[in-house]
Amino acid sequence: MAQPEGARTAAEPAARIEQELQLYYWMKLVRAFEERVSRLHRQNKIFGGVYSGAGQEAIIAGICASLLDGDFVAPLHRDLGVFLVRGVDPGRLMAQLMGKETGLSRGKDSFLHGGDLEHGIFGSTSMLGSSLPIAVGAALKFRMKREKNIAVAFFGEGASSRGDVHEAMNFAGVHRLPVLFVCENNRYAYSTPLEKQMAIEDVADRAQAYGFKGHVVSGNDLLEVLEVTERVVARIRKGEGPALIECKTYRYRGHSEHDAALYRDQEELIEWQSRDPIPRYELFLEKKGHDVKHIREQIDERAQKVVQEAVDFAERSALPKAEEALEDLTAPSPTPAPKGK
C-alpha cells in the first residue's frame, strides 16, 4: 500500500508506518463496504440477509493481520470484513451478495454461507458455532502434516453456549492443536442479553477448563487486539496449543437489517458508539505524528472507489442460469489412472 500524503516519515521504520496505515485502510474499507451493502439491501438488490458488523472492524483487522497464506479461517455471518482483509476480490464478494453468477458460489447461495477456500475462508452456517469443529479439523490436518499454519474460528457469546463449541474446544485442548478461538462478544445473541444466557462475565474463563489460556481484550481497541493476537498466534505456531481471545465489543445495528433492536437501550448504544474503533485509532495515528485529516480523505476516497467498482462489477454480472442449479453439488470425480499404471 502506497503511503498517503501526510504519513509520518521520520525515523520510524517504513514497514511500521505501512502497517499502521494498512490497518486503518482495512477498517475504513470494511465500514464503507458494509454501509453500501445496507443501502443496497434497502433497494432490494441484495439476495438473503444482511448482518452488519459495524463497530466491530478492529477485531477483523487485528486478528487477520497476524495470519499467513495457508491459514484457515471460519468467520461468522457478521464477519464480511474477513473476506476483504484476506484478499478476496471485492467485486466477487459484492456479486455473492447480489446472487450473481460471478459470486463466490456462482449465485447458488447467499453471503451467509459463502466461502472462498482459495483464500482459506470456510463458509458459515445458520447454526452459529458449528464451524468450530470444522476449524479444529483443519488444525488437526496441520498437525498431522506438520505444517506451520493455524486455524481461526470466530464465534459469538451466544454461540458459546452451544454443545459443538465446547466439544471443539475440548478436542483442541486435549490434542494441543494449532487453533485460535475468537469470541466476538457484542452482548446480544440476537435479542438475548449477555446476563440472560450465561452466568459468568467472561467467555474467556471457559478456556481454562479445556487446558489452554483465555484472553480478554477490548474489541474496539485495534492496538490491544493486534498486540494480544500477535503474541498468542506466535505461541500457537510454536506448537504450544490452542488459545481463546474474547473481544468485548458492540454491534451498532440490529441482528440483521430487518431487526430494529428495540430490546436495547438507546443510551447503551450511544455509549458504545462513543468508543468507535475507527476514530479511536485515528487519535492514535494523530498522536504518532500522522496528518490524519489528509490520510482520512485519501483513504476514504480509495475505499469508496473500491466499493463503487465492486458494485459496478456485480450489477454488470449476469444472474445464474437455471440449468446450472444442479452443478457443483458434489466434488468432481478423480480422473482414473491409465491402465497398467
Q: Which residues of 148-167 are buried (b: 16+ CB within 10 A; e: fewer)?
A: ebbbbbbbbbbbbebebbbe
* Amino acid in the structure at residue 225: V
Is 244 within 8 Å of 181 (Cβ atoms)? yes
Place of cell 452459529: 128
Q: Region 263-288: what's the mean pLDDT?
A: 94
Q: Which residue has the higher pLDDT, 112 or 268?
A: 268
pLDDT, tens only, 85-134: 999 999 999 999 999 999 998 888 888 888 999 999 998 888 888 999 99
User: CA-CA distances (angstroms) from residue 191 to 5, 41, 127, 128?
Assistant: 44, 22, 16, 15
pLDDT, tens only, 156-175: 999 899 999 999 999 999 99
Q: What is the DSSP string of 75-132?
A: --TT-HHHHHHTT--HHHHHHHHTT-TTSTTTTSS-GGG--BGGGTBPPP-SSTTTHH
Those residues whose C-beta lies under 8 Å from the C-beta of residue 271, and which sit 6 or more positions away, are: none
Question: What integer pLDDT is reported at residue 160 of this predicted model?
Answer: 92
Rounded Cα–Cα distance for residues 272 and 251 (Å): 9
What is the set of domains in the chain, with CATH numbers? 14-318 (3.40.50.970)
Is 150 within 8 Å of 188 (Cβ atoms)? no
Average pLDDT score over the chain: 92
Count CB-CB contacts under 10 A for residue 42: 10
Is 272 within 8 Å of 250 (Cβ atoms)? yes
Q: What backbone phi and psi angles, to 5 degrees, belong to 288?
A: -80, -5
Lowest mean pLDDT among 189-198, 235-244, 324-333: 324-333
C-alpha 240, offset from chain centre: 24
pLDDT, tens only, 4-28: 666 665 556 888 889 999 999 999 9
Question: What integer pLDDT is reported at residue 330 of this predicted model?
Answer: 83
Question: What integer pLDDT is reported at residue 91 of this predicted model?
Answer: 97
Question: What integer pLDDT is reported at residue 3 of this predicted model?
Answer: 63
Place of cell 468467520: 75
Is 98 within 8 Å of 314 (Cβ atoms)? yes
Q: What is the pTM of this model?
A: 0.91
| Torsion on CA atoms 6, 11, 12, 15, rounded to nearest 10 | 80
What's the DSSP call for residue 329? S
Q: Which residue has the higher pLDDT, 330 or 94?
A: 94
Q: Region 204-228: what's the mean pLDDT?
A: 97
pLDDT at 146 over 90: yes
Question: What integer pLDDT is reported at residue 340 of this predicted model?
Answer: 62
Highest mean pLDDT among 101-110, 143-152, 247-256: 143-152
Place of cell 466439544: 167
Alpha helices, H only, the chain: 14-42, 57-64, 80-85, 90-97, 131-144, 163-175, 222-237, 266-273, 277-287, 292-316
Q: Rg (Cα) of the chain, in Å, rounded?
A: 21
pLDDT at 1 over 80: no
pLDDT at 341 over 60: no
Q: Region 134-162: what's the mean pLDDT?
A: 96
Question: What integer pLDDT is reported at residue 334 of this predicted model?
Answer: 79
Is 280 within 8 Å of 287 (Cβ atoms)? no
Rounded Cα–Cα distance for residues 202 and 265 (Å): 22
Is 155 within 8 Å of 164 (Cβ atoms)? no
pLDDT at 153 over 60: yes
